[in-house]
Amino acid sequence: MTNQVLILGGQGRIGSSVAQDLAAYTQAQITVTGRQQTRESTLPVEFLALDLADSEGLRNAIAAAKLVIHCAGPFLYRDAKVLQTCIEQRVDYLDISDNRAFTRTALTYRDQAAAAGVTAIVNSGIFPGISNSMVRRDVEQLAQAQKIHLSYVVAGSGGAGVTVMRTTFLGLQEPFEAWLDNQWQQVKPYSDRETISFPAPYGNAGVYWFDMPEAFTLVDSFGVNTVITKFGSVPDFYNHLTWIAAHIFPSSWLKNPGGIEFLSQVSHIMTDVSDRFSGIGVAIRSEVQGYKDNKSATVCSTLVHENTAVAAGAGTGSLAQLILAGKLHKPGVWPVEQALSTELFEETMHNRGIEINFETNPWWQ
């Protein structure tokens, strides 16, 4: 079979970035889907009009592919139908999901995917995605890892359009569970601000608790005592506006789809202006504490990219490249850090010019 790749939601900002990465690093024949064609692509891709509610059309489209990449979020509103169909049709699967409930549901299909010989990787992209692999690399530097602290900061819209706004406000709806000191504890979204030192041009930036699927997949992957996931925005006044939405607005506003859409569209209009000054980049900081040579040790890695959407495309596209080349074959359903080796991660990032800086305790370097 030729390398036919189907990108569901491939006309969106992230889906387009995935297609761009695939076009640059593979010889895949790419088909992107949407309910209707919204723009002419400058990439060598075909367009397929497809509504995910059309089960027969979805099944036929998947059956014609070697790899399906699910980019049609927000994933709070998605079920596992695409993954199920991929397993039935024995087609490999990637997604850019960033929702805890969706991830938990997807992982229940691990045995079915394994039996079908299907490699399925969830939570690909930048965060989650590249961030998970940064943590894996850091953990591997220690004899025993105990605490993981992941922080993200995004400038303005991140180049991801209104989708990132919807995802942010949807993440404010409910308290969520975090793994702290070997027990699950409820935390409020956008609470407990910390100032984290990121590389230039971000410097010291405020981050807050935010519900991410890696908050539980990293616990399962590495057996640590604590996992902290925090997120922030640049310019800082967006953090204060988001905090107000999380803590002062009536909860009914955030649980009403109309309210979410209103807040998302207003925020998008604002970032259209501020993006010109702040840029649309992203910074990630992974810090893992534990032991090496019977001594306390901390390993830290950082990444900065000038375009969040492009970085997300690289995270997903690099996994697709490896799957298509036969270098990544792991039947089952996996989060990125359980599927991708550090060696392959570093190789694909290097090939894309994405630099990850590592820091360790000087005495054992």
Cα-Cα end-to-end distance for the chain: 47
Nearest one of 149, 270, 271, 268 to 210, comparing CA atoms: 149
Instruction: Kindly report, as residue ranges, where domains of CATH 3.30.360.10 are found in the chain.
Output: 127-305
Domain boundaries 4-125+310-351, corresponding CATH code? 3.40.50.720
- Rg of the chain over CA atoms, in angstroms? 20
Instruction: Kindly report, as residue ranges, where domains of CATH 3.40.50.720 are found in the chain.
Output: 4-125+310-351
Q: pTM score, two decimals?
A: 0.94
Per-residue pLDDT of the chain (365 residues; tens, 9 = 90+): 579 999 999 999 999 999 999 999 999 999 999 988 877 788 999 999 999 999 999 999 999 999 999 999 889 889 999 999 999 999 999 999 999 999 999 999 999 999 999 999 999 999 999 999 999 999 999 999 999 999 999 998 888 767 777 878 888 888 999 999 999 999 999 999 999 999 999 999 999 999 999 999 999 999 999 999 999 999 999 999 889 988 898 888 788 888 888 888 888 888 888 889 899 999 999 999 999 999 999 999 999 999 999 999 999 999 999 999 999 999 999 999 999 999 999 999 999 999 999 976 644 44
Nearest one of 104, 102, 119 to 167, comparing CA atoms: 102
Cα 24 from Cα 18, distance rounded (Å): 10
Among 3.10.20.90, 1.20.950.20, 3.30.360.10, 3.10.20.30, what is the CATH number of 127-305?
3.30.360.10
Q: Coil, strand or helix: which one is 173?
A: coil
Cα 261 from Cα 56, distance rounded (Å): 30
Cα 189 from Cα 347, distance rounded (Å): 35
